[in-house]
Structure 1
Amino acid sequence: MRHLRRTLVAAVLATGTLASAVACSSSGGSATTGSGGSAKGTYTFWDPYPQFDASSDWGKRVAACGTQAGVTVKRTGMDTTDLGNKALLAAQQGNAPDVMLVDNPVVSTLVQAGILNKTSDLGLDTSSIQQNILGAGVVDGASYGVPIGANTLALYYNKNVLKAAGVDPAGIKDWASLTAALQKVKAAGKKGITFSAIGTEEGSFQFLPWFWGAGGDLTKLNDAKGVAALSLWKGWVDQGLAPNDVLQNTQTTSWQEFATGQYAFGENGTWQLGNAAKAGFPYGIINIPGQNGGSAPAPTGGEFVTVPIQQDKSRYGVTKKIVDCLISPTNLLATDNTLSYVAPTGTVQQQQVQQNPALQPWVSAVAAARGRTSNGLGTKYPVISEQLWTAVQAGLSGGKSAQAAMDAAQQAVANHQG
């Protein structure tokens, strides 16, 4: 699944590990700029969409933005991990691509490596972007990329299962009412909730709405709020309201469980909307509730358009034209619909909902979401995340109490940072 592949790269990059050297075509000197800002030549563009070839809507859109800027865009799609590793290598060799689309947690890693330009230095306008979405690309108060869209998590529910159990989804407002609903579903002979608690970034990604929904702080994993979130999940597993296999579930296998029609709820993202329509039963979507009510902040997923630093600064004028084309409202609408993203601007979000009313709950979920590397975490996040998913695994398996698991996680982070 596209989202999962993207979220794994942050931890890889944080270790400084590079993949085996791969020859990267140099963009330097491949274009010339004449008077009046006219340009010709080839500009390079890397993205994490190897599934889209030149004949795809995405491939055509990128090429068209090059044509509009008066140049040819040489686009290369690759796996996210490869993209991040090759970006670091290319920067070291002085032949970084002109434009690069990267998963949002990776932006801070690339900034720390000194690879990216500030959007303000390039004259890129980010004023219309929702601040919580933009935040994943902000380091020390400066923006280093423009999001092309966002996805996040919510709760899909099976209308048939809830109706048979006498549960009104509109009454689910907090953890207590959700747990009560799961107990009613179990009593009616069906299964409660499925999610991913696997020991990877996917597990952290799925746990964060509950952690943040309790008021948890990623710099204080073992305070009472963070422990409450792990205790919630542990209680569900112990009571049979969630299956034991959440420990191995990816977001894909978790979805497959929900798609059997036996579960009341499945925690998953916008990228499953197409599959939900094919599930064979009526479904609905609610925001993940906070412990005491309201929508819990879920983590934002999605990519940022970034501009790597070039030795030839004269290239930036044309590069800006390409980026401006990609993030124009018309292209954002087309791109985000294609990729099952919620647009990063309110205006385009309204257009999306007009075209597809089913996106309304996702718009509100994205509005409540936050970047994993926001609030100054930056490159500290991958280390924290690894200890978080390790704690979740230990807590749910019964290896440690929720408090002991989070204590160990916090100590491991402190040891790493010390």
Structure 2
Amino acid sequence: MNRAAQRRLIAAATTLVAVATGVTACSSSGSSTTAGSDGSKSTYTVWDPYPQFDKTSNWAKLLDRCGSKAGVTIKRTAFDTTDLTNKTLLAAQQGNAPDVLIVDNPVVSTLAEAGVLTTTDENGIDTSKVQSNLLGPGRSGDKTYGIPVGANTLALYYNKRVLKDAGVDISTIQGWKSLTAALAKVKAAGKKGITFSAVGTEEGSFQFLPWYWGSGAQLTKLNSADAVSALGLWTDWLKKGYAPNSVINNTQTTSWQEFASGDYAFAENGTWQLANAKKAGFDYGVIPVPGRWGGSAPVPTGGEFVTVPVQKRTDRYGPSDKIVTCLTSAENSYDTDTTLSYVAPTDAVQAKQVAADPDLKVWVAAVKAGKGRTSDNLGTKYPKISQQLWTAVQASLSGSRSPQAALAAAQSAAK
């Protein structure tokens, strides 16, 4: 590896610290295995961020089937998201990257810029049926560096009983003004308004982005009037008691636990809470996060990409490509995305998901309107912008700075 490539990898490692501390928090470890000399009927390494699935899981069995279909044996290693990105960079420096890498979507552009990943054109991986907004995080420049497994995103869960007791008709919530009016009624009725995560990590930025984008703000100008209106909305909710002060430290998990108590009217959370919602013990519904003036706000998409890292031996790419194609095929996508609580990345499989579970209809609509955090040509700039964004949110909600001052500081630092 030449010095320029090494410098890119070192820079990438620094950049990934901010973005790799997102939604998952499990751990596992393993090692790669040397392949046979003919590049086939040998052991191929697959690294993924799903340590919650052991070797008996449907996910692990699918990997084995895809390996068999490609004529190879799969050695799978599951890592915590942070460990995965760091170990990938180290392996790339050592020339020992996995054959197939499944990685959180905001990380793709950083790995691509560091020279770690091959393109889908180089490997003949068909992305034509993937929705363009979901493919966006995998693009850097005019090239695509992987294919999404699926996507998750955010919406508003609501407690039907709490709203009914407060005299709130959910159909009247069409924008921020009507939502805030509903929260006022809920508080007057003796219940709690809305809970979310504003923690000082990528989770906090992830949860703030629907409101930020829903105001019309762009991540290239953190101190715009639209951006100030979004942070002002959250800050006013805390001041008026419509949202609890605990949101400053809430993760998406602890925020959900507050909503599951049955006292809150609303919770901003994701598709991954659907199973828990069905076990909550009260009637619930889901609506899109409203935009400032109505309609649905753009929401950030979560989820992973299946990628093929650069290898010293080009004869290894053939089986890797077959593994990727198998994992993301329409035949397997439905089962995979059901297991991961993801919305599929293609129209055909999304339709199949909704037919099987009508509750997914609002989530499919949200994903269709979503956007990647590294989209808008942000790429490797996103992690620094995100860090300044969550810092501004923390400063404003804690009362240490006004929304205007907090975002002005964020914009200055992000430059």
Corresponding letter in the other structure for 1:404: A
How far is the alpha carbon of 1:375 from its aligned partner?
A: 1.2
SS at match of 2:41: strand
Aligned to 1:235: 236
Matched, 1:225 2:226: yes
- Are 1:32 and 2:33 an aligned pair? no
Tell me the amino acid that sits aligned with residue 76 of structure 1: T
TM normalised by structure 1 equals: 0.92
User: After superposition, what is the alpha-carbon deviation per residue over 1:239-278, rounded to whole angstroms, capped at 9, x for unaligned?
Assistant: 1000011101110000000000000000000000010011
Q: TM-score, normalised by structure 2?
A: 0.93
**Aligned-partner Cα distance in 2 for 1:309–1:332:** 25
Q: Equivalents in 1 of 2:414, 2:289: separation in Å?
A: 27
Aligned ranges for residues 189-268 of structure 1 at < 5 Å? Answer: 189-268=190-269
**Contact 2:19 2:202 (8 Å CA) reproduced:** no
Alignment of 1:14-25 (within 5 A): 24-25=31-32
SS in 1 for 2:372: coil
Q: What CA deviation, in whole Å up to 9, does each residue of 1:343-372 have, x standing for no partner? A: 000100000011111100000010111000
Letter paired with 1:257: E
Rounded Cα–Cα distance in structure 2 between residues aligned with 1:119 and 1:31: 25
Partner of 2:11: none
SS in 1 for 2:76: strand
Q: Distance in 1 between matches of 2:195 and 2:282?
A: 17
Superposition pairs for residues 5-16 of structure 1, below 5 Å?
A: 11-12=16-17
Runs of 4+, deviation exceeding 2 Å: 22-27
Please tell me the residue identity of whatever aligns with 1:12.
V
* Residue-pair matches, total: 394
> Who is 2:327 aligned against?
326
Query: Do residues 62 (structure 1) and 68 (structure 2) align?
Result: no
Write out per-residue CA displacement over residues 104-133 of structure 1, whole angstroms, 9 at most, x where no aligned residue: 001011011100001111110001001111
2:48 maps to what in 1?
A: 47
Paired position in structure 2 for 1:401: 402
User: Amino acid of the residue matched to residue 158 of structure 2?
Assistant: Y
Q: What letter matches 2:17 in structure 1?
A: V
For 1:18, the equivalent position in structure 2 comes to none
- The answer to whether the Cα contact below 8 Å between 1:66 and 1:72 also exists between their aligned partners in 2 is yes
CA contact (8 A) 1:13 1:106 kept: no
Instruction: Tell me the distance in 2 between the aligned counterparts of 1:256 and 1:245.
Output: 12
Partner of 1:77: 78
Instruction: Find out whether 1:124 has 2:130 as its counterpart.
Output: no
State, as a whole percentage, how many aligned pairs show the same letter: 64
Matches within 5 A, 1:240-389: 240-389=241-390
Report how far residue 10 of structure 1 moved.
6.5
Unaligned runs of 5+ in 1: 1-8, 16-21, 34-38
Q: Distance in 2 between matches of 1:272 and 1:391?
A: 27
Distance 1:299 1:120, change over 3 A: same
Distance 1:279 1:24 in 2: 40
1:97 paired to 2:98:
yes
Q: 1:31 to 1:212 in 2, by over 3 A?
A: farther
Report the Cα distance in structure 1 between the residues aligned to 2:36 and 2:255, rounded to whole angstroms: 47
Partner of 2:8 in structure 1?
none
Given residue 405 of structure 1, which amino acid in structure 2 is its aligned partner? A
- C-alpha deviations, 1:184-204, integer Å up to 9, x for none? 111111110000011111100
Q: Give the 3-state SS of the residue equivalent to 1:387 in structure 2.
A: helix
In structure 2, the CA distance between the partners of 1:10 and 1:156, relative to structure 1 (3 Å rule), is farther
Give me the whole-angstrom Cα distance separating, in 1, the residues matched to 2:318 and 2:99: 11
Cα RMSD of the aligned pairs, angstroms, is 1.5
Shift of 1:30: 3.1
Question: Is contact 2:70-2:319 (8 Å) kept?
Answer: yes
SS at match of 2:42: strand
Write the deviation string for residues 145-191 of structure 1: whole angstroms up to 9, x where unpaired: 10010000000000000111111111111001100111111111111
Deviations 1:63-97 (A, max 9, x none): 11001111101111111111111111111111111
What residue in structure 2 maps to residue 110 of structure 1? 111
1:361-394 alpha-carbon deviations (Å, 9 max, x no partner): 0000101110000111111111011110000000
Structure 2 counterpart SS, 1:32: coil
2:111–2:117 contact (8 Å) kept in structure 1: yes
Amino acid at match of 1:94: G
Give the aligned partner of residue 159 of structure 1: 160
**Corresponding position of 1:148:** 149
Please name the residue that 2:26 is paired with: none
Please give the alpha-carbon distance, in whole angstroms, between the structure 1 residues aligned to 2:291 and 2:143.
Answer: 30
Is contact 2:30-2:77 (8 Å) kept? no
Give the secondary structure class of the aligned counterpart of 2:365.
helix
What is the alpha-carbon distance in structure 2 between the residues aligned to residue 213 and residue 382 of structure 1?
Answer: 20
Structure 2 distance, partners of 1:356, 1:141, is 36
What is the rounded CA distance, in whole Å, between the counterparts of 1:327 and 1:115 in structure 2?
21
Contact 2:67 2:74 in 1 (8 A): yes
341 and 304 in structure 1: CA distance in 2 versus 1, 3 angstrom threshold = same
Counterpart Cα distance in 2 of 1:23 and 1:165: 53
Instruction: Measure the CA separation in 1 of the matches of 2:385 and 2:232.
Output: 19
